[in-house]
A and B are shown apart, each in its own frame.
Chain A
Amino acid sequence: MLSVQAVRKSFDRFMAVQEADLEVAKGQVVAVIGPNGAGKSTLFKLITGHLKPDGGKIFFDGEDIAGLPPHTICRKGISLSFQIVNLFNRLSVFDNVQVAVLSRLRETFRLMAPARNFAVKETMEILDAVGLSQVANRTSGALSHGEQKVLEIAIALGNAPKLLILDEPTAGMSPEETCATIGLINRLTSELGITILLCEHDMELVFSVAHKIMVMQQGISIAQGTPEEVRLNKRVQEAYLGS
């Protein structure tokens, strides 16, 4: 479904991503792990178009999407939930998800019809699924950090993505919230059949949800395989697991 081949990106001569390769098959949960600064977030932003790669190819459903603008890539079915909370702060929780649904339904140029009549059912379904329907009318900027992280995912779901990219979905969450998020990730793949690509520092989470793991170090993907293969990989043990 997604195939990243030898993608490169540098900022002012600093090679953030030197040579990243990644294969994601449909219906899988794939995790990217690696120490801070390994280039995981940069890789995700290269896939979603928020950054333009310096070289390499990114195929999604057989089509090269490297370097396309983010709104075009989103329309093809890739949604990103950001690492640092990145919401529409003055809008209500409901509106935050509704704009994503409106964008997917291509209703964004309706000028005279009241927005309260559009995409209400779809939006409420998503809020119900992630457990935010209680706070639907609150301003998103006033939510707790954990709720904001969940809203991040809810917005990404508003686009009904085929591939959902989660950049550290549980960072800063309480243990209960983390647990609920793991449940959510499992339901998204099993019930809705969404393919998920995520990166996470919480190894317990990674090894419990991922079908496949890719390890990055200093901008290079050094290993790719099932959790078991990765756990036993010599290079990975030296570089990352530290034993």
Chain B
Amino acid sequence: MTNSFRWKSAVSAVVCAVVLLCAPLFLSRFYIYFLALILVTGLLATSLNLVLGFGGMYQFHHAVFYGIGAYTLALMLTKTDLPRFLGFVAAPVVGALLAVIIGVICVRLSKLYFGMLQLSLGSLVWALVFRWYSFTGGDDGIHGVPMPEAISSITGSYYFTVIVSGVCLYLMFRVVNSPFGRIFQAIRDNPERSEGIGINVKYHQLVGQALAGFFAGVAGSLFVAVEGSVFPDLLFWTLSLEILIMCLLGGWYTFLGPMLGAAIIVTLRTVVGVYTEYWTMVLAIILMLLIFFLPEGVLGYVQKVLRTEGAGTLREDKQC
């Protein structure tokens, strides 16, 4: 049964990849850009869920690592003559480093306190970026970041985004299903017991933080590739809240939930945003409905339904 499930997921992954790669052949420029935006945001949300849904850490300010990744790339491309690919390497590395620095300070606290301290430290980084005009461009940000030629067109940056986010999703999937992923989920369920079976909880949490920061940094660099600019909003706490909602909406105990949540919210923002400035009101209503009716998120709900159906057939089998 698990084997056929593995086959099915492998086949659907390949189908998705083919559809995404063929999309530029029949979609207009706007939709291509739109798809790229969903992928970048989804990658960011998935990286958050690595520590949120699988690690049980209340990472309230995850966007910082995304923004720092984006700024690292933009600054390296505009202010230095280093080879451009180095910027794409530096973005995730700096994201991971910052995650470790903030993590070292925060992991000694638990749950809510962890989240609150992280929120304040993240906001500190935001304030720095927001104010430091001579270096980061302050609230103007940096516009017209020169991209390498291959990914400077919309289709070029789109293909780049599909491939990089595909690879990152695959890597994160491997991590979630690795021995480390198991241990991480055990820590989420019960940190006290995890200590009791010989696991150094704080150390594992720190490694998880670094991984999440790394992939957020990748997402940040992809954003620059798609958008060609950076601005302080990328590391403002409202974005962190938004991706948190994406995880909850899609299903934070599922791997693909955050990607689904990102697709739903980015679409809503674009569609509803056409009619009203107050689209966050719609978001608030969705959030309330979600808490009441789908506490495990959309994908979590679907999985639950499938599981109970599966259990039903299993019982019938036994009776026969």
Contacts and interface: CB of A to CB of B under 8 A. Distances in A.
B204 A108 contact: yes
Contacts of A228: none
Interface in B165-201: 171, 174-175, 177-183, 185-186, 188-190, 192-201
B198 A103 contact: yes
B231 interface: no
Q: Which residue among A87, A108, A116 has the maximum number of chain B CB atoms within 10 Å of its CB?
A: A108
Contacts, number: 107
Given A86-B190, A88-B186, A91-B185, A114 B197 contact: no
A155 B193 contact: yes
B189 A48 contact: no
B253 interface: yes
A225 B111 CA distance: 45
Contacts of B180: 108-111
Interface in B268-291: none
B239 interface: no
Interface residues of B, number: 29
Contact of A108 (B174, B196, B199): B199
Contact of A50 (B175, B181, B196): B196
A100 B197 contact: yes
B147 interface: no
Given A75-B198, A103-B198, A88 B179 contact: no
B198 A74 contact: yes
Nearest to B56: A90
Contact of A89 (B175, B190, B197, B200): B190
A86 B193 contact: yes
A74 B197 CA distance: 6
A69 interface: yes
A196 interface: no
Given A108-B204, A111-B174, A159 B185 contact: no
A192 B192 CA distance: 27
A69 B108 CA distance: 14
B207 interface: yes
B178 A110 contact: yes
Contact of B183 (A89, A102, A155): A102
A142 B192 CA distance: 20
Nearest to A102: B179
Contacts of B190: 86-89
A187 interface: no
Nearest to B211: A111
Interface string A84-105: 0011111100011011101110
B206 to A, nearest CB: 12
Q: Interface size for chain A: under 10, 10 to 19, 20 to 34, or 35 or more residues?
A: 35 or more
B189 A79 contact: no
Contact of B189 (A91, A114, A118): A91
A111 B178 contact: yes
Contacts of B179: 102, 107-110, 113, 115, 118
Interface string A5-40: 000000000000000000000000000000000000
Contact of A103 (B171, B199, B211): B199
A10 B186 CA distance: 30
B175 A99 contact: no
Q: Which residue among B171, B195, B204 has the maximum number of chain A CB atoms within 10 Å of its CB?
A: B195
A70 B196 contact: yes
A206 interface: no
Given A110-B180, A111-B178, A103 B192 contact: no
Contact of B186 (A69, A70, A99): A99
A113 B194 CA distance: 21
Q: Which residue among A69, A70, A74, A98 has the maximum number of chain B CB atoms within 10 Å of its CB?
A: A70
A113 B178 contact: yes
Contacts of A4: none
Contacts of A116: 177
A79 B175 contact: no
A99 B183 contact: yes
B195 A95 contact: no
Contacts of B186: 88, 91, 95-96, 99
22 contacts: A49-B195, A50-B192, A50-B195, A50-B196, A74-B196, A82-B193, A87-B189, A90-B185, A90-B188, A90-B189, A91-B186, A95-B185, A95-B186, A99-B186, A103-B183, A107-B179, A108-B199, A109-B180, A110-B178, A111-B174, A112-B174, A115-B182
Q: Return the 4 tightest CB-CB contacts between A and B, nearest first.
A: A74-B198, A88-B189, A70-B195, A100-B197
Given A75-B198, A108-B183, 12 more contacts: A74-B198, A80-B196, A82-B196, A89-B189, A91-B182, A91-B189, A103-B197, A108-B204, A110-B178, A111-B180, A115-B178, A159-B197
